[in-house]
Amino acid sequence: MDNYRVFPGKKINLKDWSPNAPDNGDLDKKSTKEVLEKLTLELENLQELLYAEHKRKFLVVLQGMDTSGKDGVIRHVFEGVNPQGVRVASFKVPTPIELDHDYLWRIHSQLPGRGEIVIFNRSHYEDVLVVRVHNLVEEILWKKRFQQINQFERILADEGTTILKFFLHIDLDEQKKRLQERLDDPTKHWKFNLGDLKERKLWSEYIKAYEDVLNKTSTNWAPWYIVPANQKWYRNLVIASVIVNTLKKCKMEFPQPFQPLDGVVIE
């Protein structure tokens, strides 16, 4: 999975990163189904351990173009976890109250507590993506935010938060296909937003913005992963693998009982 990690100092041009699963005859949705099921079971057990140990915090950031599959990742990768210890935070257009504060103000209240996994469906990175593409703030302001975000995430890491950031990489043709599926299926009309078509016309501007994000904010304490997301099954496999492997490296342990239990008999 390190093949998908953006290491600090490595120049990223998304044209060099395929949005497709590797061309391997032995690798397909059917052959990896069992692997993904095993990973989701491991994640379920590791999440329980994280919650019980109650020492560490875990933040997963999902970013990507419209239809890249952020909701799908949450639904499939985290399907077996206990909702008591997992929470999803979605960041849409800021409210008037949020706009009255600094751009990180609304992020703070959604961060994970000890023993908790929080998944950001979009995140603080909207403030160097959407605001840039749509010229919502002056360039001098959003350019400062790269360093500010790095410092913000460093504080979180120093305070015990493990951070993983995933850019779900699809191409323009795949987005067209997924938008058409929403348009053709009445049960998916609620997902279709005419505004997505306007954003689609800004594809190249968003790619440039994402390249800056990946180049300037992938750090040792909060790495980015560029996930091939044209094939949903492979997207889920990559993300589940990275999360499970990272949680394993935490070497968590169940806490000791509050009092000795030797000799306790339940009558």
Q: Is residue 254 part of a domain?
A: no
Collapse the DSSP code of 169 into the 3-class scheme (helix H, G, I; strand E, B; otherwise coil) and give the result: strand
Percent of the chain surpassing pLDDT 70:
100
Q: Is residue 16 part of a domain?
A: no
Looking at the structure of the chain, the number of domains it has is: 1
- Mean pLDDT score of the chain: 95
Residue position matching structure tokens 């749509």: 134
Q: Is residue 100 part of a domain?
A: yes
Q: Is residue 263 part of a domain?
A: no
Q: Is the pLDDT of residue 110 over 80?
A: yes
**In 56-140, at which residue ranges do the beta strands (DSSP E only) sit?**
57-64, 86-90, 117-121
Q: Is residue 237 part of a domain?
A: yes
- pLDDT reported for residue 189: 94
Instruction: For residue 263, name the pLDDT band (cuts at 50, 70, 90).
Output: confident
CB-based contact 183:175 (threshold 8 Å):
no
Q: Is residue 213 part of a domain?
A: yes
pLDDT digits (tens, 9 = 90+) for 207-229: 999 999 999 999 999 999 999 99
CB-based contact 171:226 (threshold 8 Å):
no
Collapse the DSSP code of 167 into the 3-class scheme (helix H, G, I; strand E, B; otherwise coil) and give the result: strand
Task: Look up residue 84 and give its two tokens.
Answer: 């008591």
Q: Which domain holds residue 113?
A: 26-249
Q: Is residue 264 part of a domain?
A: no
| Alpha carbons 181 and 186: distance in angstroms, whole number | 9
- pLDDT reported for residue 265: 87
Q: Is residue 265 part of a domain?
A: no
Q: Is the pLDDT of residue 260 over 90?
A: no
Position 32, amino acid: T
Q: Is the pLDDT of residue 7 over 80?
A: yes
- pLDDT reported for residue 27: 80
Burial 212-248 (b: 16+ CB within 10 A, else e): bbbbbbbbeebbbbbbbbbbbbbbbbbbbbbbbebbe
Task: Give me the helices (H) in the chain, please.
Answer: 29-53, 70-77, 96-99, 105-108, 130-133, 139-158, 172-184, 194-200, 203-217, 232-249
How far are the Cα atoms of 71, 104, 121, 230 from residue 170, in angstroms, in the given order? 15, 27, 17, 5
pLDDT digits (tens, 9 = 90+) for 52-101: 999 999 999 999 999 999 999 999 999 989 999 999 999 999 999 999 99
CB-based contact 146:212 (threshold 8 Å):
yes
Collapse the DSSP code of 134 into the 3-class scheme (helix H, G, I; strand E, B; otherwise coil) and give the result: coil
CATH number of the domain residue 189 falls in: 3.40.50.300
pLDDT digits (tens, 9 = 90+) for 148-185: 999 999 999 999 999 999 999 999 999 999 999 999 99
Q: Is the pLDDT of residue 264 over 90?
A: no
Instruction: For residue 259, name the pLDDT band (cuts at 50, 70, 90).
Output: confident
Task: Look up residue 113 and give its two tokens.
Answer: 């507590």
